[in-house]
Structure 1
Amino acid sequence: MDAREPGTDAGPPPARRPGRTGERLGRRAFVTAASAAAVFAGTGTAAGAATGPAAPPALTGLDGALPAFHPLLKEELRFPLAWGTSPIRDPRAWRRAARAKVEEHLFVAPDHTPFAPEFGERRSERDGFTRELVTFSLTRYERVRGALLTPHGRGLFPAVLLLHDHGARFDIGKEKLVRPWYDDTRLASAQEWAERYFSGRFVGDELARRGYAVLAVDALGWGDRGPVTYEQQQALASNLYHLGSSLAGLMAREDVRAAAFLAGLDRVDRRRVAALGFSMGAFRAWQTAALSDDVAAAASVCWMTGLKEVMVPGNNILRGQSSYYMLHPGLARYLDFPDVASIGAPKPMFFLNGGLDPLFPADGVRVAHDKLRAVWRSHRAEERLRLTTWPDLGHVFTAPQQDDVVAWLDSVL
């Protein structure tokens, strides 16, 4: 597996820290200080002779990039607000409560700043759509430039908010999905990315050819809003935390705002707006569907798992860095990843995974799919949920997968 998969960290695996005998710290059991003191104080002649229940051995040090006691932390994760665990039995009431809990952990307030868009010159394409750049206030803090594609014709058109991946590639963001007609310097990078992950296609251009209005915007750190370096991601996240904000929360709010902007365009049918993304963009797509009333459907390619199942030694999520874009501190005390995605129910949602994807173990995908099914079933809307695993594919969004998604969008929008 290439370490620089989209949506993952790209740094080298963490170094092992040897003990005196060469083993990693955390692989050994230590007697707690309290137990040792009891023995030497005469309260017991041996570890088994002390009165009362014996204290469990302390797990000390590190297990790679995890604390050695991480299994105990996992056991404490009960996801008490998850559907089926929560005492709330009405699906709509549960949806409101779960969404409020997610909002609480974003640490970024909702934003109602006027978009005040400025549209650039339109460029008409022979294959049935026009391209233009649009600059608008994504938040009260920043105006951003987006790529906007519009099919030829009168409209109103169904629309897709395209959400780019991570991939440890920061010089391009929206350009990973929309051919950068406005910047020849980014074209080579964009074409290489399309060849590597999208069968040589620009997904946004393909959607526009098939009748969808498309908007793609850079997340903070990519393209026009970067480029951040790989090492700077942690500092960026830390600095936002120090400022009482959150990198993941900011991205979540920005994606909701981008969906609202797209839905409000006079060329778009606001009842037919979908979110679509690959890898980190897939995370963003189901998250936006959960938090935005402007998104009617979502398709997420290669990002869905149970948290416990993905927090295992060797998984890229443990390397930090890119994870900060998808980390809402404290939220795991209440909800798992599929629980958050399920807030989008009963909207039509499509989750695609690759059977050979090294980033998302099969058991994590199964756990997530079971949770998703239960929530859509509670809404009596099972037919609106589609869960697909392509057994022979890894972490990619190939042309056949794209065709499958477009056909699904046609059916639900």
Structure 2
Amino acid sequence: MFQSRKIFLALLFVTASASSAPQSGIIEGNLPANVAQLKAQMTYPDAWLSGNYHDFTQWQQHARGLLRSALLTPESHRAFSPQTVAEEDRGSYVAQKVALNITDDNRINALMLTPKSSGPHPAIVLLHDHGSKFDIGKEKVIRPWNDAEKLTSAQAWADKFFTGRFIGDELAKRGYVVIAIDSTGWGERGPMVYEQQQALASNYFNLGRSLAGEMAYEDTRTVDFLASLNNVDPQRIGVLGFSMGGFRAWQLAALSDKVAATAVISWFGTYDGLMQPGNNVLRGQSAFYMLHPGMPAHLDIPDIASIAAPKPMLIYSGDKDKLFPPQAVKDAYAKVHKVWASQNAEDKLITKSWPELGHVFYKEQQDEVFPWLDKWLKP
């Protein structure tokens, strides 16, 4: 009897010891060991699809306020004070390098293309990608001049991702005023190296700011700048971005009610679908340009994009894009379609996955996107 009691107590001790043993802190993909428990808590209570809201306009204002607060960036009040520093005639349009106060803290150079025809014109904010290529930013989408080395680099990028075209120049030929700026770290605001990104993001937090927030806020200021120009119709401003620029595009549409139409190329999914071992968002570094503290506790990626509803939005992905798993994209598409449908605006939302394409914005895609923009911005 005594021996049986000793065995029973020993088993209790072993069981208790096993249950109280600490977990490993980190698992595959640099994820915390309790990732399953944390993901289960991501119920997105502030989403329109949560059922917690009944007035779409009020929800939109609430959700936009959450996102704006997460930027950790104060409002800017300085005049833009633009100044042309270089210019090139391109036939039906003029290319300019323009210096402007993008925020109270930053005066930067932008590239602008302006048709020679009489305005006011529709306009496009072009948002460059990441690509771990920092020597060029705005030049990835608008052809540079007076710099042979930069032009060679930009043309090689256009050849790789855009079938040799400069997206901005193609749009200017169609009658749009086009603008592109460098995000912090690219082009004339860099160039940095890949390993600097994490420290840069950390130091923004040390300064009470956010790297992702600064990028997002500067994009909204770019729209505001276009809307202030006499030769631009402020009711017909669209945004277009590829890769990280696609992320910036739907984010900008969510932040600014001045955006009339949005084209998103190769950056869409759900948090759950993207937070899988091997995915780029788990690597740190470049991910910090797209991380707003606390937002995933409130809204999923398609929930944020849906703040722009019921305005026109087009979202393209490639099924062979290794950065964005098809299921993650499909789940995100389903969410945004539910939101636009709830506002009787499904005709204003286009989503498409290209079976044979990867992480690119090729001519065949452009040939669908450009007329779609015309439909909404050049009625």
TM-score range, shorter chain: over 0.9
Q: 1:301 is matched with which residue?
A: 265
Deviation at 1:40, TM superposition (A): 11
Measured in 2, the distance between the counterparts of 1:57 and 1:130 equals 68
**Sequence identity, in percent?**
48
In structure 1, what is the Cα distance between the partners aligned to 2:49 and 2:146?
Answer: 50
C-alpha separation in 2, matches of 1:100 and 1:324 = 21
TM-score of the pair, normalised by structure 1: 0.86
**Equivalences for 1:5-404 in 2 at 5 Å?**
42=9, 45=12, 59-64=23-28, 65-126=30-91, 128-404=92-368
Shift in alpha-carbon separation, 1:141–1:44, aligned structure 2, 3 A: same
- 1:45 offset after TM fit, Å? 2.6
Structure 1 or 2: more helix by fraction:
2
What is the RMSD computed on CA atoms of the aligned residues? 1.9
Q: CA deviation at 1:47?
A: 6.0
- How far does the alpha carbon of each residue in 1:206-241 deviate from its partner, in whole angstroms, 9 at most, with x for none? 111111110011000000100111111011100000
CA contact (8 A) 1:60 1:69 kept: no
CA distance in structure 2 between the partners assigned to 1:270 and 1:41 by the alignment: 79
Q: Give the secondary-structure state (helix, strand or coil) at the position aligned to 2:287.
A: helix
Q: For residues 243-291 of structure 1, what are the alpha-carbon distances to aligned partners after superposition, in whole Å with 9 as ceiling and x for unaligned?
A: 0000000111000001110122111111100010000000001111110
**Contact 1:91–1:378 (CA<8 Å) still a contact in 2?**
no
Matches of 1:396 and 1:47 in 2, distance apart?
Answer: 56
Could you tell me how far apart the structure 2 residues matched to 1:361 and 1:374 are? 21
User: 1:282–1:302: 8 Å Cα contact kept in structure 2?
Assistant: yes
Show the counterpart of 1:31: none
Q: How many Å apart are 1:346 and its aligned residue?
A: 1.0
Would you say the 8 A contact 1:81–1:335 is kept in 2? yes
The amino acid across from 1:358 in the alignment is: K
Aligned pair count reads 370
Higher alpha-carbon deviation: 60-69 or 213-222: 60-69
Is 2:95–2:112's contact at 8 Å kept on the other side of the alignment? yes
Q: CA deviation at 1:110?
A: 2.1
Deviation at 1:95, TM superposition (A): 0.6
Unpaired runs of 5+ residues, structure 2, are 1-5
CA contact (8 A) 1:354 1:391 kept: yes
Inter-partner Cα distance in structure 2 for 1:179 and 1:77:
43
- Distance in 2, Cα, partners of 1:138 & 1:338: 28
Instruction: Provide, for residues 104-157 of structure 1, a one-character-per-residue CA deviation record: whole Å limited to 9, x for no partner.
Output: 21111222221011123542212x211111110000001110110011211111
Alpha-carbon distance in 1 for matches of 2:21, 2:43: 23
Deviation of 1:68 (Å):
2.3
SS in 2 for 1:343: helix
Query: Is the Cα contact below 8 Å between 2:136 and 2:150 reproduced in 1?
Result: yes
Deviation digits for residues 308-337 of structure 1 (CA, Å, limit 9, x no counterpart): 111000111111100000000111110111
The CA deviation string for residues 179-213 of structure 1, in whole angstroms up to 9 with x for no partner, is 10132221111011001100000000111111111
How far, CA to CA, are the matches of 1:392 and 1:177 in structure 2?
Answer: 23
State the distance in 2 between where 1:352 and 1:40 align. Answer: 64
Distance 2:60 2:51 in 1: 11
Q: Indicate conservation of the 8 Å contact 1:306/1:338, yes or no.
A: yes
Q: Aligned partner of 1:340: which letter?
A: I
Return closer, same or farther for 1:56/1:273 CA change in 2, 3 Å cut-off.
farther
- TM-score relative to the length of structure 2: 0.94
Secondary structure of the residue aligned to 1:403 is: helix
Q: 1:90 to 1:47 in 2, by over 3 A?
A: farther
Question: Structure 2 CA distance, aligned partners of 1:145 and 1:104?
Answer: 27
**SS class of match (2:50):** coil
Question: 5+ residue gaps in structure 1?
Answer: 1-38
Compared with structure 1, are the counterparts of its residues 210 and 188 closer, same or farther at alpha carbon in structure 2 (3 Å cutoff)? same
Looking at structure 2, the residues matched to 125 and 104 of structure 1 have their Cα atoms a distance apart, in angstroms, of: 41
- How far apart are the structure 1 equivalents of 2:56 and 2:331? 20
